Structure 1
Amino acid sequence: MSSAYGNRRLPARLDLIDRKILSALRDNARLTNNELAERVGLSPSPCWTRVKRLEADGIIDHYTAVIDQAAIGLGDVAFIEITLQHHDERVLEQFGEALARIPEVLEAHLVTGEYDYLVKVAVAGTADYERFLRERLYRIEGIRSSRTTFSLRALKRNISVDPLGIG
């Protein structure tokens, strides 16, 4: 099925069981199929089939471990607003690829508004942030300006939305 977003296939509407599966896996992706089936009120075989369909449809993108950044010495988070000198497709692509290769970059978004990118980075403090700027970020060609805001503390932090809480 084609959409306004290209040739991406749109998934069938998620029913309550699908949303329960997604919510349970969002909270704990290490659940066994039997544990998941019990939580969502299915027998194991149809539960397994639904999970595989959610994976195949791209609704479940991947599974990951969430690392406590402070526990590995990167306790500070900074948000950087970046404006580029030029905005042609080649520059945007190269800049995005360069950001993706930097380990401290947690998220990078091309945005609308006064600046071009909003980038979230994890650092060990202000000295480490200065090192990050000099040795990583400012070595990427094409940056006209940047402005940084440090997070004092996270009030909410999720990797993805809870499908039981929407709609």
Structure 2
Amino acid sequence: MQKQESNGFVKLDRMDRRILTELQKNGAISNLELAEKIGLSPSPCSRRVKALMDAGIVGKTVTLLNAKTLGLKLTALIHISMDRHTPERFENFESSVKTFPEVQECFQITGSSADYILKVIVEDMDTYQQFLLGKLTRLDGVFGVQSSFVMRSVVNTTELPINE
């Protein structure tokens, strides 16, 4: 069972790591199936999963959709530069970007002339242009925008490495 270490990290035992590995493969797995896969009886398995959730290790369970089958064929990585580096400017930008359904991820970065990188998924170039000109460049403080378009995805996973 996991325990909190002095550095704030949670130390996981072998069984917890096996549970997490299986949950990352299939978040909809039943407790009975999970218990069978990891070699534990259902009741202790359920307690362990609850403890992992209570510890904040397991966030939420989601269903991953296939963007292409939904007509969302264009993925853009957008580097955003801000005109001023003030907490208020960043807070306003971030709160606005969180409301845009096209934005899948937003990272504040360093080591580049950009302040943010956005991952945006849309139908096509026309939809991207509407997003860029109608939403993104209208935000206060957006000074520069550089877009790159994904030709193909080589690695696309939500699974974190968990050493057993």
Q: 2:79 is matched with which residue?
A: 81
Q: 1:153 is matched with which residue?
A: 152
- In structure 2, stretches of 5+ residues that fail to align are none
Within a 5 Å distance, the mapping from 1:17-166 to structure 2 comes to 17-114=15-112, 115-164=114-163
- In structure 1, stretches of 5+ residues that fail to align are 5-9
Mark the CA change 1:45 to 1:11 in structure 2 (over 3 Å): closer, same or farther: farther
Q: Normalising to structure 2: TM-score of the pair?
A: 0.92
SS of residue matched to 2:120: strand
- 1:26-50 per-residue CA deviation (whole Å, 9 max, x = no partner) reads 1101110000011111110111011
- 1:64-105 per-residue CA deviation (whole Å, 9 max, x = no partner) reads 010111111111110000000011111111111111100000
Distance 1:3 1:94 in 2: 35
Mark the CA change 1:20 to 1:68 in structure 2 (over 3 Å): closer, same or farther: same
- Please say if residues 109 and 119 of structure 1, whose CA atoms lie closer than 8 Å, have aligned partners that are also in contact: yes
- Tell me how far 1:11 sits from its aligned partner: 4.5
SS of residue matched to 2:10: coil
SS of residue matched to 1:132: helix
RMSD (Å), alpha carbons: 1.8
Q: Normalising to structure 1: TM-score of the pair?
A: 0.90
- Tell me how far 1:164 sits from its aligned partner: 3.6
- 1:101-155 per-residue CA deviation (whole Å, 9 max, x = no partner) reads 0000000000012210010000111111111101111121111101010001111
SS of residue matched to 1:156: coil
Distance 1:160 1:88 in 2: 34
98-107 vs 129-138, which moves further: 129-138
Runs of at least 4 residues off by over 6 Å: 1-4
- Please say if residues 5 and 11 of structure 2, whose CA atoms lie closer than 8 Å, have aligned partners that are also in contact: no
* Identical-pair percentage: 34
Q: 2:13 is matched with which residue?
A: 15
